[in-house]
Amino acid sequence: MGHGHGHGHAAGRAADRSRLRWVLAATGSVLVVELVGAYLTGSLALLADAGHMATDAGAVVLALGASYVAGRPAGPRSTFGYHRAEILAAILNALVLLGVCGYVGYAGITRLGDPAEIEAAPMVAFAAFGLLANAVSLMVLNRSDTGSLNLRGAANEVLADLLGSVLAVIAGVVVWTTGWDRADAVASLLIAVLILPRALLLLRDSAVILLEIAPAGLDLDDVRRHLVEVPGVVDVHDLHAWTITSGMPSLSAHVTVTDEALADRGVGPILDELCECVSAHFEVRHATFQVEPLSHEAHEDLGEVH
């Protein structure tokens, strides 16, 4: 049963990687087209969306790399593998996003006071290409049924790209039909507003993982209550929870068990019940428990709290 599950998971991961490679190619193509379009038309909205696309292409590369890294075995020194590389790259991605946001915001405000002349018809054509490519990419990603957090994150990035392309198209149409060149600057500012909260959230989520703060939605008091309900368990202490990388929560605890329970059932079955408890109730599948007999409790040195 374990082999079948692993084979199915590996097949699903391979299919997700294929989807991500396709989306990366589409995103890269749109990025190049919009950069050329921004140069030819003078559109700040196209340039803003191209910057958006560049950071999102980086996010797709992260998702694709994380999928490969997840399948690699840990080494003798890198006991958790290299999953944290994804988080470091995510922080860099967030900082680049903030830089793009700042530049687009500054340029957009400047152009509101002194609007540049825009070639509206080509601008609409370039933005429409981006809109079409993003729509197709989103459909490709949404066909996955693996529940991958990486793929879900990539789909969110593409959705944001789609909205940016919509804004660029609308701005181009407004300039084309009314001659109001400030529509381009307004669209670029709206794209900057779209980028800012995503950059801040990405930075916050990355910092939470690096600081090893307990995963959102995991109440350690609730975890302790469930573990104490396992037959034979009388105390749970030194309980810690953290995230190795996105979608990989981990937990460790010292669990005091009665000597009678250990004698009757043995350590193995008790460990199975503890692991099943946190897996079933909290979806934590990477858990480490130190089982201690109640008679040993007086001799345990919990050390200094840091």
> CATH code at 274?
3.30.70.1350
Tell me if 43 sits within 8 A of 168, measured CB to CB: yes
Indicate if 251 and 130 belong to the same structural domain.
Answer: no
pLDDT value of residue 305: 45
Is 306 domain-assigned? no
Instruction: Give the C-alpha separation, 306 to 303, whole Å.
Output: 9
Domain count, the chain: 2
pLDDT value of residue 306: 44
Indicate if 42 and 130 belong to the same structural domain.
Answer: yes
Burial of 119 (0-12, 13-18, 19+ CB in 10 A): middle
| Chain centre distance of CA 232 | 39
Indicate if 36 and 121 belong to the same structural domain.
Answer: yes
Please identify every stretch of the chain with a pLDDT value under 50, giving residue numbers as ranges.
1-9, 305-306
Give the predicted TM-score (pTM) of the model: 0.71
pLDDT value of residue 77: 76
Indicate if 11 and 30 belong to the same structural domain.
Answer: yes
262 in helix, strand or coil?
helix
Last residue of a domain, one of 183, 210, 237: 210
What percent helix, strand, coil does the chain show, rounded to 5?
A: 70, 10, 20
Owning domain of residue 265: 220-299
Indicate if 277 and 138 belong to the same structural domain.
Answer: no
User: Which of 146, 196, 213, 135 has its CA nearest to residue 169?
Assistant: 135
| Chain centre distance of CA 262 | 42
Burial of 47 (0-12, 13-18, 19+ CB in 10 A): buried
What lies within 8 Å, CB to CB, of 210 at 6+ separation is 84, 87, 91
Tell me if 16 sits within 8 A of 150, measured CB to CB: yes
Is 123 domain-assigned? yes
pLDDT value of residue 3: 41
pLDDT value of residue 114: 84
Last residue of a domain, one of 210, 236, 260: 210
pLDDT value of residue 6: 43
Is 206 domain-assigned? yes
Look up the CATH number of the domain holding residue 12. Answer: 1.20.1510.10
Last residue of a domain, one of 177, 210, 243: 210
pLDDT value of residue 214: 92
